Amino acid sequence: MKLSRSWLATAATVSGVCALEASYDYIIVGGGTAGSALATRLSLGLPQAKILLVEAGPSALDELRINVPGLRGSILGSGYDWNFTTVPQGSLGGRVIDVNRGKVLGGSSAMNYLCYDRASAPEYDAWRELGSPGWGWKTMIAAMTKSENFTGPEDGDRHGRRGPIRNYYNRVLYPIIRAWQPTVAALGINVNDGGSLSGAPVGVMFQPTNINVDKRTRSYAANSYLPLAGSNLEVLTNTQVTKVNLAKRGKKPSCATGVTLPNGTVIRASKEVILSAGSVQSPGLLELSGIGQSRVLQAAGITPHIDLPGVGENYQDHIRVSNTYRLKDGVESFDNLIFDNAGANATGEMQKWLTGERSLYEYTTAAYGFMNWGQLGVAGAMKAAAASVVQSTNVVDAKKLQYLNNAQVPSVEILYEANYVGAAGYTGGRFLTLISTVMQPFARGSVHINPSNPQGKPVIDPRFASNEYDIKGLVEAAKFSRRIAHTEPMRSAWEAETEPGEAVQTDAQWRTFATGALGSFYHPVGTCAMLPLKDGGVVDADLKVYGVANLRVVDNSIIPIIPSAHIQTAAYGIAEVAAEKIIAAHAGSSKSENACNCK
């Protein structure tokens, strides 16, 4: 690939004269996780095609806050973060929740916490069962392992070993982290080491992390996929696409002719435009282009072209809450490397990282538990809560209800960290944290452009904890986290629970704590859902936007129903599947079939 500098030499100076405009076969909007992977695969698979990848943020390949695994989290709220927030959440007393997203080449894969895992097989099969032929576990596991290069001995699990994204099991583990499996197993949970990536994640285990074992750097879309691309891929950074341009073709579906940049420059696409701007911004780009709910478009003063009610709806995200425990004297933690990073120990460890020695800055999340409600002893109560909130006319809700009868599908995740990750704020000391997450909350919210500033920050309303199942689930998961903390050998490591604190005992107190401490787990999906049109779908099984011949969405916004996992593997998998589809379509098409004639 080449970072574009001189492309404008061929770009439009006289509007309406197509021959003078910069032109590509494919334009991909958003050089994030899926967009960078897709651009690379198209470049390799279609060596004759000219491909442009446009990213709003900069390239930051030398940025230590991205590259050093242990500095994960440090670019949240920085210039590499879009800094979105939700609207005030009614069920959280009007609190506003941060919605962090990467604004940098590599997108949120540059910002994420390097948890590398997969959901259960039935959850990928659900995509097909909800109406998208060809999708499912078989398709996605092939695609996800195609993107992966795992380093480590055969452990019986499913790992790719030839793909771009490097991963391995953490080699830096604090002694307290080793207490994880024996502690959780003492509560009757199965140990699932070496089996959790094969579509059956229920249990307690260590999981891999996406680090390049040779360089000890984060392995992400910008430094692991893009360098593989050919010179037929141009990458334009620091450029936020304002809209997709559409043209009519008689009575046939509309078609995309290219994109417009903030300064009015038009770039043409002779084959396809692909949106990979992520779950928060891909729906907004459709709206800015005249595709979406007419009410939303009209309020923003945008001429509606295609009425597509599903755009920006069906927003789903994981909700989480943390229990934190102050460690006893002498128990080591990672806290000083985060909160005292100018101290002697941290600077010494950073020096080791920089000179290639084994460093504590390689530490990332290692210890996971994925459980169903039965394992927590609350299956009946949670099913009853679900039955009370499910909307029988909604196919996504109905599928989530089915999951509750399938023991292979986790309902809860608990993450175990050797440092403080609480909501109250760090006030010194060493901690362990248990992060409790509801895997399939029933809240379905929305994201739409802001009518008073359509190009600005979108209006995000996830409706967090707006129903009984979601809030009860969070409370039950956090109560179970307390049981874990009180079980040996973990119990011997800490001296006090600081969040929520032992004063919290009744369900009413737990609810107050949970609504006050709830955060997003950064996994929004579903806002350009791959579903039938009648069920609120935005794209079909080929990821094509309904009503437009040559406009696709390829990112996590197409996931119709939130999976029980961290979802970067899904983003890479979706990009791999999409690349195969686009390459196959290219081979089967004549030039006139796909191209829109200049208007």
Ligand X SMILES: *[C@@H]1O[C@H](CO)[C@@H](O)[C@H](O)[C@H]1NC(C)=O
Ligand Y SMILES: Cc1cc2nc3c(=O)[nH]c(=O)nc-3n(C[C@H](O)[C@H](O)[C@H](O)COP(=O)(O)OP(=O)(O)OC[C@H]3O[C@@H](n4cnc5c(N)ncnc54)[C@H](O)[C@@H]3O)c2cc1C
Q: Go through the chain and tell me how many residues it has.
A: 599
What count of other Cβ atoms lies within 10 Å of the Cβ of residue 551? Answer: 27
Instruction: Choose among ligand Y, ligand X, none what residue 191 binds, the Cβ cut-off being 5 to 8 Å by kind.
Output: none
Sign of CA dihedral 575, 579, 581, 586: positive
213 belongs to the binding site for ligand X (CB under 6 A): yes
Q: Give the list of residues 6+ apart from residue 450 with CB closer than 8 angstroms, or none.
A: 300, 456, 457, 458, 459
Which token pair is 500? 């929520």
8 belongs to the binding site for ligand X (CB under 6 A): yes
Q: Give the list of residues 6+ apart from residue 206 with CB closer than 8 angstroms, or none.
A: 169, 170, 180, 181, 193, 366, 367, 368
Kindly tell me the burial class for residue 313, based on how many C-beta atoms sit within 10 Å of its own C-beta (0-12, 13-18, 19 or more). Answer: buried
Facing residues of 349 across strands? none
454 belongs to the binding site for ligand Y (CB under 6 A): no
345 belongs to the binding site for ligand X (CB under 6 A): yes
Alpha-carbon separation of residue 17 from 243, 330, 331 (angstroms): 19, 72, 70
**In this complex, which beta carbon is closest to ligand X, that of residue 56 or of residue 531?**
56
Sign of CA dihedral 537, 542, 543, 545: negative
Piece of 97-105, 142-150, 411-419, 485-493 that binds ligand Y (CB under 6 A): 97-105
Piece of 75-83, 361-369, 475-483, 507-515 that binds ligand X (CB under 6 A): 75-83
571 belongs to the binding site for ligand Y (CB under 6 A): yes
Q: Alpha-carbon distance 7 to 22, whole Å?
A: 7
Which of the following is catalytic: 159, 448, 523, 586? 523
Facing residues of 244 across strands? 259
Question: Contact, 209 vs 568, CB < 8 A?
Answer: no
Q: Alpha-carbon distance 409 to 174, whole Å?
A: 30
Piece of 37-45, 76-84, 417-425, 448-456 that binds ligand X (CB under 6 A): 76-84
Instruction: Choose among ligand X, ligand Y, none what residue 271 binds, the Cβ cut-off being 5 to 8 Å by kind.
Output: none
Least spacing, CB of residue 298 vs ligand X, in Å: 29
Least spacing, CB of residue 344 vs ligand X, in Å: 7
Binding residue for ligand Y (CB under 6 A) from 240, 450, 509, 512? Answer: 240
Amino acid at 389: V
Residue at shortest CB range from ligand X:
348
Binding residue for ligand Y (CB under 6 A) from 216, 523, 544, 552? Answer: 523
**In this complex, which beta carbon is closest to ligand X, that of residue 192 or of residue 207?**
207
Piece of 139-147, 257-265, 397-405, 565-573 that binds ligand X (CB under 6 A): 257-265
81 belongs to the binding site for ligand X (CB under 6 A): yes
Least spacing, CB of residue 240 vs ligand X, in Å: 8
Least spacing, CB of residue 249 vs ligand Y, in Å: 25
Instruction: Choose among ligand X, ligand Y, none what residue 566 binds, the Cβ cut-off being 5 to 8 Å by kind.
Output: ligand Y
350 belongs to the binding site for ligand Y (CB under 6 A): no
**In this complex, which beta carbon is closest to ligand Y, that of residue 207 or of residue 467?**
207
Residue closest to 115 by CA, chosen among 574, 578, 579, 564: 564
Q: Alpha-carbon distance 370 to 467, whole Å?
A: 22
101 belongs to the binding site for ligand Y (CB under 6 A): yes
Strands of 439-485 (E only): list them.
Answer: 446-448, 459-461
Question: Contact, 356 vs 434, CB < 8 A?
Answer: no
Question: Contact, 45 vs 585, CB < 8 A?
Answer: no
Helix or strand run (H / E) with residue 519: strand 519-520
Binding residue for ligand X (CB under 6 A) from 90, 134, 175, 348? Answer: 348
Helix (H, G, I), strand (E, B), or coil: what is residue 59? coil
Give, as ranges, the residues between 82 and 111 that touch ligand X (CB under 6 A). Answer: 82-83, 103
Q: Was 241 annotated as part of a binding site? A: yes
Peptide bond into 500 cis (omega under 30): yes
183: left (phi over 0), alpha (psi -120 to 50) or beta: alpha
Give, as ranges, the residues between 459 and 478 that touch ligand Y (CB under 6 A). Answer: none
Binding residue for ligand X (CB under 6 A) from 6, 48, 231, 263? Answer: 263
Residue closest to 410 by CA, chosen among 366, 374, 464: 374
Residue closest to 43 by CA, chosen among 54, 51, 34, 35: 51
Residue at shortest CB range from ligand Y:
32
343 belongs to the binding site for ligand X (CB under 6 A): no
77 belongs to the binding site for ligand X (CB under 6 A): yes
Which of the following is catalytic: 159, 305, 566, 586? 566
285 belongs to the binding site for ligand Y (CB under 6 A): yes
Instruction: Choose among ligand Y, ligand X, none what residue 583 binds, the Cβ cut-off being 5 to 8 Å by kind.
Output: none
Tell me 544's DSSP state: B
Pairing, β 446-448 against β 203-206: unpaired
261 belongs to the binding site for ligand X (CB under 6 A): yes
Helix (H, G, I), strand (E, B), or coil: what is residue 250? coil
589 belongs to the binding site for ligand X (CB under 6 A): no
Piece of 13-21, 180-188, 276-284, 412-420 that binds ligand Y (CB under 6 A): 276-284
Least spacing, CB of residue 348 vs ligand X, in Å: 3
Instruction: Choose among ligand X, ligand Y, none what residue 456 binds, the Cβ cut-off being 5 to 8 Å by kind.
Output: none
Least spacing, CB of residue 263 vs ligand X, in Å: 4
Q: Alpha-carbon distance 219 to 217, whole Å?
A: 6
Piece of 153-161, 270-278, 336-344, 471-479 that binds ligand Y (CB under 6 A): 270-278
Piece of 81-89, 303-311, 406-414, 464-472 that binds ligand X (CB under 6 A): 81-89
Respond yes or no: is residue 318 known to be catalytic.
no
Q: Was 104 annotated as part of a binding site? A: yes
Instruction: Choose among ligand Y, ligand X, none what residue 294 binds, the Cβ cut-off being 5 to 8 Å by kind.
Output: none
Question: Contact, 280 vs 446, CB < 8 A?
Answer: no
Helix (H, G, I), strand (E, B), or coil: what is residue 257? strand
What is the number of alpha carbons within 13 Å of residue 3 lying toward its C-beta?
Answer: 12
Binding residue for ligand Y (CB under 6 A) from 160, 163, 278, 458? Answer: 278
**In this complex, which beta carbon is closest to ligand X, that of residue 349 or of residue 476?**
349
Residues flagged as binding site for FAD: 104, 241
Q: Which residues are catalytic?
A: 523, 566
Contact footprint for ligand X (CB under 6 A) = 8, 77-79, 81-83, 103, 149, 151, 162, 166, 213-214, 239, 261, 263, 265, 332, 345, 348-349
Contact footprint for ligand Y (CB under 6 A) = 29-35, 54-57, 76, 100-103, 107-109, 111-115, 240-241, 276-279, 281, 285, 522-523, 555-556, 566-569, 571
